[in-house]
Amino acid sequence: MFELRLNNKTIPLKWGTWAMREFCIAKATINNKGEKENLPINRYFEILNNTQYDLELIILLIFIGYKSACNTNKQSVEFDENDVCDWVDELGGIFDEKGGVIEYIKYIVSTTVLTVQGTPKEEKKKSNKSKLG
């Protein structure tokens, strides 16, 4: 869990499978048949791998992380995206190296890699000895 430290409070943010799913739903588009299509997971990775984020994307990532933490902690969602904008301002903006926004994006990237790849496990060495009769 990531902690977004503001002046008078700390906001827990969590990124995992639930958050990735919510992000893909939030970034859904309408196809030419008028049907809603969630963002495919490969597009999620392309967006995450991009070195340029727009403000709307950053706000969405923070808001979903907040909702995910609320879900995990069994708490109600008390804040909205407008509050998230205030948090970003309080942190010094999106590019403040001492602010939490850049660190949170790094947290998302590292968490996503672990979620997809899993934690590394040591493989047991198998014996290559064969029995000769």
Per-residue model confidence as pLDDT tens digits over 86-133: 999 999 888 777 778 989 999 999 888 655 555 544 444 444 444 444
| Rounded-to-integer distance, Cα 33 and Cα 53, Å | 29
Strand ranges for the chain from DSSP E:
2-5, 10-13, 29-30, 36-37
Integer angstrom CA distances of residue 112 from 15, 57, 86? 8, 16, 26
- Count CB atoms within 10 A of the CB of residue 58: 18
pTM for the model stands at: 0.81
- Tokens standing for residue 25: 């739903």
* Domain ranges, ordered by start, for the chain: 2-116
